[in-house]
């Protein structure tokens, strides 16, 4: 089989013979000429065929051209074809200024004429036929953006001496909240799907790894049907030793995001603007930082009282404080800091002199929380006391608490949801749009 040329490379090719393969996007079957828009994983190109409608016995090439004409007339959207022909640059062609005159055409696979989804199909219907939905240029770009973003994060971490780890996703006991655990059969006993790599990435600190990161699945048995929740998602985690406070973690976090968004803007900025109609903004550092109590006061002064009695910020409060930060600082990110110890895990370090507050933060991006980070408590006696205060039995936390009995440096880190970041970066209405195969309370297929 002749080697094909990816469509995105055609513009740089000289006029002449070329072979392309892809899916039929549209067919315009006119009387004297036929046009086919062919799409592969890299882009789209126009194919042109001078139509022959009946056999001319005086022309030896007539039969072949008639066969191509009839084949094109019968092509259905989504059929996969290979075409060899002549590439021609022509600025009059609206689609990229190039076209391919068809010489030979082979139908590799025929597609059923009636497709089960359309552009206006519901998200649930499109998810039922996800492999077809993913053919859309917008979807293709989403996952190219994700690839670039993650590569940039990994590059930044490696250049700053972080070690990549892969923590287990089958656990003998809860990592954080038993209420959100998936329980699975494990030989003669039970195991749990990991909600977070929290305990294991902390284990790397007394192990002497210093700085670690992981990009991996996480599981939450949370029966939420919001645009931001999933039962399986990709968690971006980092943990590092030798921190003085959560400020060190926030500084690392913002530098990492700047690296990721810079790479996305440089590589995909023009495509994002063309397909999504928005400009990628690389944030300046430092990101704004607002203590939670002050943030709640600000949104109250702007006409919204956060109704929660548990000292947290609700989604509307997040949107309101993000709007304030956008107006006052021109920034899409804001760190909300100093959360109450009553709503934070037992392992978050508390303020010196004020045990009611923690050295922790939530990061808000375009009005939605994407991450929680903190300095961790590394003193065993304090950890045990805080666990008891939360109603936890230190005996059940034995394997975790052992980390702190043999020398552990001050450390901190964060966990961040990949799909939320991509959703908010591209202004999509739901993480369902930016998840390759979404899992939620009522979706386990495809």
What is residue 47's three-state secondary structure? Answer: strand
Quick check: helix, strand or coil at residue 272? helix
Residues 6 or more apart in contact with residue 156 via CB below 8 angstroms: 255, 256, 259, 260
Q: Is 379 labelled as part of a ligand binding site?
A: no
What stretch of H or E contains 232? strand 232-241
Cα 83 vs. chain centroid, distance in angstroms?
34
Question: What is d(CA 239, CA 255) in angstroms, rounded to the nearest whole number?
Answer: 15
Query: Does residue 419 have a known ligand-binding role?
Result: yes
Structure tokens at 433: 């749009």
308 marked as binding residue: no
Distance (Å, rounded) from C-alpha 312 to C-alpha 214? 27
- What are the start-end ranges of the E strands in 129-169? 163-164
Instruction: Find out whether 372 is annotated in a ligand binding site.
Output: yes
Could you report how far apart the first and last alpha carbons of the chain are, in Å?
33
CA atoms of 165 and 152, how far apart (whole Å): 17
Report whether 2 belongs to an annotated binding site.
no
Strand extents, DSSP E, 52-208? 80-89, 98-109, 163-164, 170-171, 183-186, 189-193
**Residue 412 Ramachandran class (φ > 0 left, ψ -120 to 50 alpha, else beta):** beta
The answer to whether 420 is a known ligand-binding residue is yes
Give the other-Cβ count within 10 Å of 133's Cβ: 17
Could you give the 3-state DSSP secondary structure of residue 33? strand
The answer to whether the annotation marks 376 as part of a ligand binding site is yes
CA angle 208, 409, 237 (to 5 degrees): 70
Q: Is residue 173 a contact partner of residue 124, using CB atoms and an 8 Å limit?
A: no
Asked if residue 418 belongs to a known ligand binding site, the reply is: yes
Q: Which residues are annotated as a binding site for L-aspartate?
A: 176, 220, 372, 376
Q: Which residues are annotated as a binding site for ATP?
A: 369, 417-420
Q: Which residues are annotated as a binding site?
A: 176, 220, 369, 372, 376, 417-420
């Amino acid at each position: 089989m002749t080697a094909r040329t990816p469509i995105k490379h055609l513009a740089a090719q000289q006029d002449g013979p070329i072979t392309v393969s892809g899916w039929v996007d549209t067919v315009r079957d006119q009387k004297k000429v036929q046009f086919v828009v062919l799409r592969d994983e890299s882009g789209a190109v126009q194919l042109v065929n001078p139509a022959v409608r009946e056999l001319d016995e005086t022309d030896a090439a007539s039969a072949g051209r008639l066969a191509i004409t009839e084949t094109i007339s019968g092509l259905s959207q989504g059929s996969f074809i290979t075409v060899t022909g002549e590439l021609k640059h022509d600025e009059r062609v609206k689609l990229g200024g190039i076209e391919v005159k068809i010489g030979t055409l082979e139908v590799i696979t025929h597609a059923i004429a009636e497709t089960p989804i359309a552009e206006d199909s519901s998200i649930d219907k499109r998810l039922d036929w996800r492999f077809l939905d993913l053919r859309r240029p917008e979807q293709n770009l989403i996952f190219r953006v994700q690839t670039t973003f993650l590569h940039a994060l990994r590059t930044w971490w490696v250049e700053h001496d972080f070690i990549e780890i892969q923590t287990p996703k089958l656990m003998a006991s809860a990592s954080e909240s038993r209420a959100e655990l998936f329980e699975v059969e494990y030989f003669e006993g039970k195991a749990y799907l990991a909600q977070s790599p929290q305990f294991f990435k902390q284990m790397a600190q007394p192990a002497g790894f210093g700085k670690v990161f992981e990009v991996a699945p996480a599981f939450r048995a949370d029966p939420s049907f919001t645009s931001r929740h999933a039962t399986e998602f990709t968690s971006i985690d980092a943990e590092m030793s030798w921190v003085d406070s959560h400020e060190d973690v926030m500084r690392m976090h913002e530098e990492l995001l700047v690296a990721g968004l810079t790479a996305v803007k440089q590589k995909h900025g023009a495509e994002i603007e063309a397909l999504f109609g928005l400009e990628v903004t690389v944030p300046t550092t430092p990101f704004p930082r607002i203590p939670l109590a002050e943030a709640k006061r600000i949104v109250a002064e702007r006409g919204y009282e956060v109704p929660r009695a548990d000292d947290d910020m609700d989604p509307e409060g997040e949107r309101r404080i993000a709007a304030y930060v956008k107006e006052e600082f021109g920034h899409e990110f804001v760190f909300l800091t100093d959360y109450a110890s009553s709503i934070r895990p037992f392992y978050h370090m508390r303020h010196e002199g004020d045990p009611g507050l923690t050295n922790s933060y939530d990061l808000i991006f375009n009005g939605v929380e994407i991450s929680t980070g903190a300095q961790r408590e590394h003193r065993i006696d304090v950890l045990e006391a805080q666990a008891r205060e939360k109603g936890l039995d230190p005996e059940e936390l034995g394997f975790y608490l052992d980390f702190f009995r043999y020398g552990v440096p001050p450390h901190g880190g964060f966990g961040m949801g990949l799909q939320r970041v991509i959703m908010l970066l591209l202004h999509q209405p739901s993480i369902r749009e930016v998840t390759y195969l979404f899992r939620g309370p009522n979706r386990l297929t495809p």
